[in-house]
Each structure stands twice: as C-alpha cells, then as structure tokens.
Amino acid sequence: MTRQEQAQSRSRPLRGFSLVEVACVVVIIGALSAIAVPRLSNSIALSRVDAAARRIVVDLDYAKREAIRSSTNQRVRFRPLTDEYSIEGLLDPDHPGGVYVVSLQDEPYGATIVSVNFPAGNAERVIFDIYGVPDSGGSVVISVGNYTRTITIGTATANGKATVQ
C-alpha cells in the first residue's frame, strides 16, 4: 500500500452498527414477537379444531357409505376418555391390517372429545343401518384450546347427514 492509500484508509469512517442500534432492533423484534406469538397459537388451535371436526364428519359419511355398500350395519363408537373413535368392522386405510381407530390427541389435531350424546341405546355410539340411516341423531363436541366445534348427526328425516356447527 502506498502512503496515499494508507492515509485514505485511516480517514474513512468505520462501517457497522453501534450497540445502541443493535439493542433497539432486538427490543423491536421482541415486541413484535410478543404480539405475534399469541395470535399464531390461536390460529393453530382454530385450524386444529376445524380439521378434527372435518375428519369426524368425513369418517361418519364413510361409515354411512360402507353400511350401504356392504348391506351391513356400521357402528361408530366414540371414546371420550381416550379422545378417540373407531369404525367397527372396517380396516384402517392408513395402517393396513389395523382396525379403523382415530386418536384426536395425535397430530395434526391435538383435540379433546368434550361430550358425546346419542340418545338411542348407548350414548357414545351411532349405528348406520343398511340404508345409511343412523339409529338416532346426536352430537359430538370437541375442543382445542379455547375453540370448540359441535358435530351433529341428523336423524332419519335428515338422512343421517353430519354437519359442523
């Protein structure tokens, strides 16, 4: 380096961030995170409860269609103590050779069965006959965090259709 280059390099100001600037950025990021994290967790809980409710509706429709297809009664049994339900007599499409059981506590749901109410016979099950008609209407209530969804199964007059409320 020549003397002129050395003199120019000494006169240039150093580039970078001061400690105060870095601290300000860290404080701003912390404040934004404190606002965003609760909203994100609420959004995740809402997505999970909606996904679990849709899964139950789809599986109830599956049991109904299988009853019609096979001309046999299909029983869907809910187990609130273990937060799972099963479609008796059907094999699990996700685990070949296994019984069709869905645990709502597992990913991606993380849901809890709050209550099950089917007035006919056993309050924790519904049976679809060979025409796809349920033995009674009823409801299942699930929750994730502060969010709940009620899955209602219509009576014979409603053709046994399951809906989410």
pTM listed for this prediction:
0.75
Rg (CA), the chain: 28
Please write the tens of the pLDDT for every residue from 35-49: 766 666 778 889 999
Q: What was the pLDDT predicted at 31?
A: 79
Domains of the chain and CATH, by start: 17-164 (3.55.40.10)
Structure tokens at 39: 């909203």
Q: At 27, is the pLDDT very low, low, confident or very high (cuts 50, 70, 90)? A: confident
DSSP per residue over 25-61, as a string? HHHHHHHHHHHHHHHHHHHHHHHHHHHHHHHHHHHHH
Closest CA to 53 of 2, 93, 110, 15: 110
